[in-house]
C-alpha cells in the first residue's frame, strides 16, 4: 500500500472512530436516561464501555484479520496514552482534583488489574483460558462496583455531570440517529485504521505492535482525550480522571478478555513488551494511583512531566 494511502486510511479511520464513539456514548446515555435506567448502570456500562468502543472494535478486527500483535499493542498503548497523554493535557489547562472515594477505589482496582494482566503476559501467549480469566475479573469488577454503589452516593451526581459535559440528544428520533450512526461508524473506522496501520508498519519496516502502541493507540484514545478535555474545561475534573481509570480497566478485562477469547489463535506477546511496554504501563498506573490516593491533585507541572514521559517512551519505541 502506498504511504500516502495508508496515511489517508489512518486519518479517515480516526475521524470515524472519534465521531462514532462520541455519538454512540451520547445516544446511549440519552436512551438510558429516557428509559429510566439508574445512573449507576449508565456510569458502569454505557460510559465505561462506550469510551472504550474504539479500542474494542480495532483490537477485535486486528485479531480476527491476522494481526494479533496490533491488537495487544493497541490495548497496552491506549492504557499508557490514557494516563501520560489524556490526563496530562487537561491537567496543563486546569488542575485535576481526583480525591473522591470512588476514584481512589477504582484507581487501586486499575493497578491490580494491570498487574494481573502483566503476569498473564509473562506466562506466554494470551489464549482463550486467559481471556476467560480476564472476563471473570470483569464480572467481579462490576459486582464490586454495584455493591460499593450502595455506600457511595456519588453516582447520581456523576451521571448529571456527564450530561453537562457531553450534551445529550433530546428527541427519540435524534437519540436513535446517534446510536445507529455510532454503530455504523465504529466498525468502518476500525477497518480503515487497521488497514492504514498495517500499511505504515510495512512502509517503515517496524512491527505491527509498535504501530499499535503508538499510532493506533493514540487514535483509539481520542474519544477519551476529547471527553477528558471537555470535562476539564467545564470544571468537572473528577469525571475526567474517572473516565480514564474506568477505560483502562475495561480495556484489559473486557476488550482484551473478549479479544483473547474469540481470537482464532493465541495472541503472542511481542518482543520488548515484557522489558519496556508493560513496565511503562504499570509505572503509569502506579503513578496515577499514588496521586489519586495521596495528593488527589494533578496540576500543570505534573501534567508537563507526564507528557514528557510519554514523549520519551514514544522515542524509545523507535
pLDDT in tens for each of the 318 residues of the chain?
677 788 888 888 778 877 776 777 677 777 766 776 554 455 555 566 666 777 787 888 888 888 888 889 989 999 999 899 888 888 887 777 766 666 778 889 999 999 999 999 999 999 999 999 999 999 988 887 767 655 555 545 555 555 555 567 878 888 888 878 877 777 777 778 777 887 887 787 777 778 878 877 877 777 667 767 766 666 665 666 777 888 899 899 999 999 999 998 899 998 889 999 999 999 999 999 998 888 767 888 998 999 999 999 998 887
Q: How far is CA 59 from the centre of its chain?
A: 11
Residue appearing with cell numbers 471537555: 230
CATH classification for the domain delimited by 3-317, as one of 3.30.413.10, 1.20.1420.30, 1.20.1250.20, 3.40.50.2000: 1.20.1420.30
Say how far apart CA 301 and CA 298 lie, in whole Å. Answer: 8
Question: How much is the pTM?
Answer: 0.80
Say how far apart CA 55 and CA 216 lie, in whole Å. Answer: 9
Q: How far apart are the first and last CA of the chain?
A: 21
Q: Taking Cα atoms as reference points, which of 100, 37, 121 lies closest to residue 246?
A: 100
The pair phi, psi for residue 96, each rounded to 5°, is -100, 115
- Domain coordinates of the chain in residue numbers? 3-317
> All 3 cell numbers of residue 86?
489524556
Residue 6 CB partners (closer than 8 Å, separation 6+)? 195, 196, 197, 198, 199, 200, 203
**DSSP for residue 298:** E
**DSSP for residue 267:** B
Amino acid at each position: 500500500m502506498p504511504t500516502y494511502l495508508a496515511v489517508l486510511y489512518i486519518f479517515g479511520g480516526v475521524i470515524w472512530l472519534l465521531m462514532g464513539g462520541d455519538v454512540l456514548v451520547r445516544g446511549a446515555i440519552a436512551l438510558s436516561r429516557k428509559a429510566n435506567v439508574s445512573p449507576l448502570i449508565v456510569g458502569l456500562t454505557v460510559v465505561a464501555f462506550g469510551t472504550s468502543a474504539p479500542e474494542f472494535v480495532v483490537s477485535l478486527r486486528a485479531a480476527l484479520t491476522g494481526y494479533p500483535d496490533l491488537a495487544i499493542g493497541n490495548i497496552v498503548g491506549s492504557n499508557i496514552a490514557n494516563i501520560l497523554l489524556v490526563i496530562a493535557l487537561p491537567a496543563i489547562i486546569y488542575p485535576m482534583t481526583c480525591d473522591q472515594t470512588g476514584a481512589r477505589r477504582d484507581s487501586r482496582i486499575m493497578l491490580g488489574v494491570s498487574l494481573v494482566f502483566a503476569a498473564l503476559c509473562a506466562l506466554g501467549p494470551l489464549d482463550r483460558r486467559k481471556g476467560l480469566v480476564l472476563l471473570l475479573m470483569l464480572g467481579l469488577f462490576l459486582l464490586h462496583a454495584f455493591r460499593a454503589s450502595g455506600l457511595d452516593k456519588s453516582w447520581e451526581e456523576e451521571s448529571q455531570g456527564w450530561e453537562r459535559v457531553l450534551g445529550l440528544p433530546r428527541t427519540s428520533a435524534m437519540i436513535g440517529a446517534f446510536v445507529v450512526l455510532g454503530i455504523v461508524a465504529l466498525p468502518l473506522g476500525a477497518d480503515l485504521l487497521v488497514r492504514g496501520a498495517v500499511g505504515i508498519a510495512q512502509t517503515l519496516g517496524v512491527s505491527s505492535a509498535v504501530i499499535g502502541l503508538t499510532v493506533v493507540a493514540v487514535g483509539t484514545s481520542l474519544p477519551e482525550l476529547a471527553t477528558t478535555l471537555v470535562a476539564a474545561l467545564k470544571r468537572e475534573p473528577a469525571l475526567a480522571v474517572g473516565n480514564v481509570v474506568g477505560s483502562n480497566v475495561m480495556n484489559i478485562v473486557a476488550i482484551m478478555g473478549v479479544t483473547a477469547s474469540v481470537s482464532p489463535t493465541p495472541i503472542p506477546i511481542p518482543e520488548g513488551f515484557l522489558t519496556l511496554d508493560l513496565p511503562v504501563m504499570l509505572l503509569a498506573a502506579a503513578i496515577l494511583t499514588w496521586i489519586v490516593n495521596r495528593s488527589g491533585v494533578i496540576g500543570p507541572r505534573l501534567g508537563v512531566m507526564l507528557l514528557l514521559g510519554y514523549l520519551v517512551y514514544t522515542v524509545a519505541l523507535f
